[in-house]
Amino acid sequence: MCSLTFNYQRLIASTGEKFSSKYWIAAKKGKPARAINSWEFKGDEVNLRLKNIEKFLLSDYRKQLNDGKNPTVKSMHDSFMVYLGKRTESPMTVHKFLKEFTDDPPKKLKERTLGKYRLLAKRLLEFEKTVGYKVNFDTINEKFYNSFNTYLNGLGLLDVSAAQYFKCLKSALNYAFEKEITLSVEHKKKYFKVFDENSDSIYLTMDEIKNLYSLQIEDDYLRFKRDIFILSCHTGLRFSDWGKYSKSNIIEKGRFLKVMTYKTKEMVIIPLHSIAREIFERYKDTSFVIPSNQKMNKTLKTIGQLAEMHQTMNVSSTSGGIVMTVSRMKCELITTHTARRSFATNAFLSGIPTISIMKITGHRTERSFLKYIRVSQLENAMKLAEHPFFN
């Protein structure tokens, strides 16, 4: 038997070596256990084989670490069984790769992100079974891309939703290529594009935000949800960022909010609007018990109705290359993300430099930021009219 302890885990496995205990010297202080060499027993050969096993286990442990993996008792045992010839190493398939990728991710990924990869793995298996297309590293090509895209559209998914599957697949294949698990570069070709659609997501104007804030709400918890939404409208923070809020986040005598963002892990310092300071003062002795995103979105639609946001909005989406437009009331379109989009758009319209807004929203390029904000041609023209160039 051999025993190896690592990461507070212990691997115990048979070495395959069997001989009488009379040829064995137990380990002593500073000296390892070893077999005795005699005329009737070749102990030196046994010791050499055991030494090679030790070298292999240490080498395999380092290899797994260098490959970005987290060695486990199972992964070490599997490698050892292959080394002893008791098991043949099965070829790496896309399905096996995605399972290992999600079970033991190469870097610290949030559970929500891992969920997207697991859903991709599930969809690929369903696609394989339904269409009869064998999915593997060497079959992921233009034919696969078109076929899988058609399959996703057939499920009723919008192009922008189907794009999330290709985004995850492209990212996973990039990692597999870097680790030389596959040598295919099909996913790097031009046809393997990730669909990008400008969203018709709404934003609230400053007047609408003021109207929402002045709304008389009797229910304490409903009012609290409204106030959290208003805070996001004035700070640009994601809804998830409020889960770890504490009084220590308010600095410089209440003038600024200092937060380590949950998604990007970046420190941001935000000047506080008078309304934001008023809300923080109101809840200074109250713990921020944040509802789930789903419950919050449902509540926001109710609050939007109370605020009589009944104006009709045309919302466009694309499925299978076909653009569809439906009319919805504005109150039906409000989500937690509307607040962050409202902050960015209103800050831009008020003349705050784009780079300063991006320091808060976390956008890395001006191009991505300008696609994010919701500014109509008329609003843009009115903003330009205030510039000295047009006066």
DSSP assignment of 94-162: HHHHHHHHHHS-SS---HHHHHHHHHHHHHHHHHHHHH-PPPSGGG-SHHHHHHHHHHHHHTT--HHHH
Phi, psi of 108 (to 5 degrees): -70, 105
- Whole-model pTM: value is 0.59
Higher pLDDT, residue 23 or 388:
388
> How many residues are present in the chain?
391
Q: How many CA atoms does the CB half-sphere of 260 hold within 13 Å?
A: 4
Name the token pair of 80: 């050892």
At 230 the pLDDT is: 96
Work out the burial of residue 161: count CB atoms within 10 Å of its CB; fewer than 13 is exposed, 13-18 middle, 19 or more buried.
middle
At 361 the pLDDT is: 87
Instruction: Please enumerate in sequence order all residues whose Cβ is within 8 A of that of 349, keeping only pairs 6 or more positions apart, or say none.
Output: 375, 379, 383
Quick count: other Cβ atoms within 10 Å of Cβ 352?
A: 13
Phi, psi of 223 (to 5 degrees): -65, -40
Work out the burial of residue 238: count CB atoms within 10 Å of its CB; fewer than 13 is exposed, 13-18 middle, 19 or more buried.
buried
What letter does residue 85 receive in the DSSP assignment? T
Euclidean distance between CA atoms 306 and 217, whole angstroms: 9
Higher pLDDT, residue 313 or 239:
239
Tens-place pLDDT, residues 109-122: 778 788 899 999 99
Mean pLDDT along residues 46-70:
77
Tens-place pLDDT, residues 317-365: 555 555 556 678 898 889 999 999 999 999 998 889 889 998 888 888 8
Q: Which helix (H) or strand (E) holds 27?
A: none
Tens-place pLDDT, residues 261-311: 887 788 889 999 999 999 999 988 777 778 888 899 999 999 999 999 998
Instruction: Please enumerate in sequence order all residues whose Cβ is within 8 A of that of 75, keeping only pairs 6 or more positions apart, or say none.
Output: 64, 69, 104
pLDDT above 70: residue 162? yes
pLDDT above 90: residue 225? yes
Higher pLDDT, residue 326 or 39:
326
Higher pLDDT, residue 86 or 115:
115
Euclidean distance between CA atoms 70 and 16, whole angstroms: 27
Q: Are strands 256-260 and 267-271 parallel, antiparallel or unpaired?
A: antiparallel
What letter does residue 188 receive in the DSSP assignment? G
At 253 the pLDDT is: 86
